[in-house]
Each structure stands twice: as structure tokens, then as C-alpha cells.
A and B are shown apart, each in its own frame.
Chain A
């Protein structure tokens, strides 16, 4: 089993996945927020 600092690679992948998950979530939802604000301004 390959390890970095004694820890298996698959476990490092968990933390990387968590960070990516949060990052992608914020990118996508901030775009949604902007689109929603823009459409609200159009309606007004």
C-alpha cells in the first residue's frame, strides 16, 4: 500500500475530495445567487 507520511493514499483522497466538494459547491451556488439576483433585477 502506497503511503504519504505513513497514511494510505486513499485517506488523503478523502480530505482532498472534501475540500473540492466545498469549493465546487460555493462556485456553483454563488453563480446561482448571481443569476437569481440578475433575473430579479430584470423583473423589477
Chain B
């Protein structure tokens, strides 16, 4: 029965891809849903993009190990989102409206007036986010293997086949509407499973008493406050300007919709945050001897819940995985087709050709990570954390300063991105020396590189600034003052 629920869910998701195919006429439709998404779908797709295997498996595992207080992390994540929604969203939407921008390299390449900046951004996205696709595929196949004994290869192919199919067919329209379904499945799946699991543990009070008897800190500060604060600051920094979230602002209708959709996504995220916490601590009481905390979610789904609920919970976990990988896949596909083929190589194509080329690129980008996912990879959550460190170290400074500091130059942006990712990679390879997280070193390097090199080099032109700064736009469109005076 659980397998049937899962199969029905996967078929519906593919069906949405086929249906949404009809709405794709232009590149804007394919990559940004025509910039028409409203609050409900926008909020759902934002929240679903944030959820991943890390949330459904890793975070539940964290709560299994440390109790409730890891939930504080969400507030750090949201604080980053608020900065993105209020400071970046309006400028990105204005850029979309004026220049038809569709990607983050679009923004950086235009703002810093440089093809090199665009290409560097694409390369970093491909490498860092490519890793995350592999991690998600491994996570998904692990779940199918634990739950149904599906061999890893078949599991990877099944999961990849579904998300590649609906992404190739329906682009962002398909992703956004499947995200809405996936968010509902995720929220409903967890929200129904949690009361059941807590009930099985004897109810809320009995659950807490049992946790306290296992380890008193599980109902207090299970994760030490220092560790928690360090993680929260890392998440906050990493998510500033996080490309996979920021790129969604292009697809929302207007500024009001961006603000409301982000608010709605907080509501979705809160439901998930509280649900995964309860699921993790319930599993700790009901299954205290699990081999690894990552087994908490699938064990609850298959062993504790009635088959239909178990299937729903597994569908929710797969939903979290697919919503993330489909968003990553479309972003990587657009980086190749839109940024490299169209802008860097200067290929001129009709709208239909552009959509078809993007579809082919998305298909290829979806297939490429599959072989890597067939080998067993340890620590899925660690891959995400490392990839996020590389991404945050290269994009946070150039994106935010690019939108608010006119003096940022091409050379400054290159120094910031290369210095940031280089430092992060080196720090990770060295195994986080002195126990210091990579972002605490790489982001300051990225910031220093940006500021010092920018101040030492020539500013970009007014044309490059005008899409992002209203006064530059007005100055560029106003009649030349000197000519007026001469007359």
C-alpha cells in the first residue's frame, strides 16, 4: 500500500510536467514561468526549494540525536531570506522587467559589465550545485532501498527519471506547480505522521518524560549553545544571495507578491520545522537503538505508521528531494543555455529554438550526475554543507554589494568570487583548521577582495549600473545637462 501511494504521487508529478508543457512558449515561460507566479504557488515553490533530503532525513536525524533545540536554526535561515526578499527581490524584479533577466550570472555579468564574471559564476554553479544533485539522488535512493529494498541503481534511475521528465517538459511552470503539490504532500505527510508518532510515544508529556529519562538535555539544550550559534551564523551567511532561492524572485509577479510569497513560505517552513523536530524526537523514544540517525524518517514511515500514512511520509521525503533537484537542474540548464550559449557565445536563436536547446541542455545536465550517484557516498548532509560553503563564499558578497555599492568593479567581483571559493575549498580540504567553519574565513576574504580590488580599479559604466540603481537610470535617461547649458 505504501508503495502504491508513492507510485501514484510520482505519476501525478509527471502528469503535471506534461500538462504544463502547453504553457511554454518562450524562454521566459520556461525559465521564469513568464514572471507570473502568485503568492500561493510562489510561497510553495520558495519553501519547497529550501526543503531537501537534508531536511527530510538529515534534520530529522539531528533532532533524533540532540532533541528539539536545533529548530533555532530556522530563524537564522529566515533572517537571511528577509534580507533577500526586501533588499534583493525588488531590484531583481526590476532587472527582470527592464532587461528580461533570467539567471544569477545574468545579474552579475550585467552589473559587473563582464563576460568573465558571467562565466565564473556559471562554472561555480555547475560545480557546487552539481554536487548537490548527486547528494540528493543518493539520499533518495537510500530511502527507497531502506523502505522497499529497491536496488540503489534502480532507485537513482527512478528518482532521476521523474524529476528530469517534468523539468524538461514543463520548465519552471512544472517545477512551481509540482512544488505546490510537493509542499502540500510534505506538510500534510509530516503533519499527519507527527501526531500519530507522538501518540505512539504516549502523548506529548510522556514523550518528553521519556526523552528526559534517556538524556535530560534532549528536552533542554541538546545541541550545545556554542555549536548551535556557530551553525546558525553559518546558515545565515551562506543563504545571503543563495542563487537557487534568489532566482525565484524573477518568476514572481511583482514586489508585493515577492514579500507575501516569502511570508507564506515561512508558514510552510514553520510547519515542516516543527514536524521534523517532533518526528526526530519521537523516533528517539520509539527506536532508541537506530544504527544511524538518518534512519529515523524511513523507520517511522515503514515500521510505525499505517501503510497509507507511511507511503505519504515517504512521498513527502521524495517530494523534498525532487523539488530541490528540479530547481537546481533548471538553474544549471539555464546557466549553460542562456548564459553560455546565448550571451557568451552570442548565438542568435528564435524563442522556439531557445526553449528546445534549453530542454536538451536540461536533459543532459540531469543525466550527467547519475553515474556519480551510483557509487555509495557517505554523509549526504556533509556534501550539502560543503557545497553551500562554496556557493555562499562566492555569491553572497558579489550579489549584495553589487546591488547596493556602485563602486564594486569587474576586477573586484572576480577577486571576490575566486578568492571566496578558493579559500572555502582550501579550508574544507584542510579539514576546517582550528575547528573554524570555512565560511568564517572565506566570506571575509571574499568581502576584502571585493572592497580592496574595487577601490583600486576603474568603476563600471553608468549603463551597467542603471538597471540596479534608480538614480543612475534617471541620470542616464535625462537630457545631457551640459548640452542643455550649451544651447
Tell me if A36 and B255 are in contact (CB < 8 A): yes
Binds A, one of B8-16, B213-221, B394-402, B410-418: B213-221
* Known A-B contacts A6-B204, A21-B266; A11 and B259 likewise in contact (beta carbons under 8 Å): no
Tell me if A15 and B256 are in contact (CB < 8 A): no
Chain A residues, CB < 8 A from B75: 14, 17-18, 21
Tell me if B208 and A6 are in contact (CB < 8 A): yes
* Known A-B contacts A29-B259, A29-B260; A3 and B266 likewise in contact (beta carbons under 8 Å): no
| CB within 8 Å: A-B pair count | 77
- Nearest A residue to B216 via CB reads A1
Q: Is residue A38 contacting chain B, with contact meaning CB distance below 8 A?
A: no
Q: Is the interface of A mostly helix, strand, loop or mixed?
A: helix
- Nearest A residue to B71 via CB reads A14
Chain A residues, CB < 8 A from B221: 8, 10
Chain B residues, CB < 8 A from A36: 255-256
Tell me if A29 and B263 are in contact (CB < 8 A): yes
Find A5's partner among B86, B204, B211 (CB 8 Å cutoff).
B204
Chain A residues, CB < 8 A from B86: 29, 32
Q: Is residue B68 contacting chain A, with contact meaning CB distance below 8 A?
A: yes
Interface size on A (CB < 8 Å)?
A: 22
Of residues 48 through 82 on chain B, the ones whose CB sits less than 8 Å from some CB of chain A are 67-69, 71-72, 74-75, 78, 82
Tell me if B219 and A8 are in contact (CB < 8 A): yes
* Known A-B contacts A21-B266, A29-B259; A6 and B69 likewise in contact (beta carbons under 8 Å): no
A39 and B263 alpha carbons, distance in the complex (Å): 23
* Known A-B contacts A3-B219, A5-B208; A14 and B68 likewise in contact (beta carbons under 8 Å): yes
Q: Is the interface of B mostly helix, strand, loop or mixed?
A: helix
Q: Is residue B212 contacting chain A, with contact meaning CB distance below 8 A?
A: yes
Tell me if B266 and A1 are in contact (CB < 8 A): no
Interface size on B (CB < 8 Å)?
A: 34
A18 and B56 alpha carbons, distance in the complex (Å): 20
Q: Is residue B345 contacting chain A, with contact meaning CB distance below 8 A?
A: no
Find A6's partner among B78, B209, B255, B260 (CB 8 Å cutoff).
B209
Tell me if B220 and A6 are in contact (CB < 8 A): no
Contact indicator per residue, chain B 224-258, by CB within 8 Å of chain A (1) or not (0): 00000000000000000000000000000001100
Chain B residues, CB < 8 A from A11: 67-69, 71, 219-220
Find B208's partner among A7, A15, A25 (CB 8 Å cutoff).
A7
A37 and B72 alpha carbons, distance in the complex (Å): 35
CB distance from A23 to the nearest CB of B (A): 10
Chain A residues, CB < 8 A from B255: 33, 36
5 A-B pairs with C-beta separation under 8 A? A1-B216, A6-B204, A8-B219, A22-B267, A25-B263
**Given A18-B75, A29-B263, A36-B256, 8 more contacts at CB 8 Å?**
A6-B209, A14-B71, A19-B270, A21-B266, A25-B263, A26-B263, A29-B86, A33-B256
- 3 A-B pairs with the lowest CB-CB distances in the bound complex, closest first: A6-B208, A8-B220, A29-B259
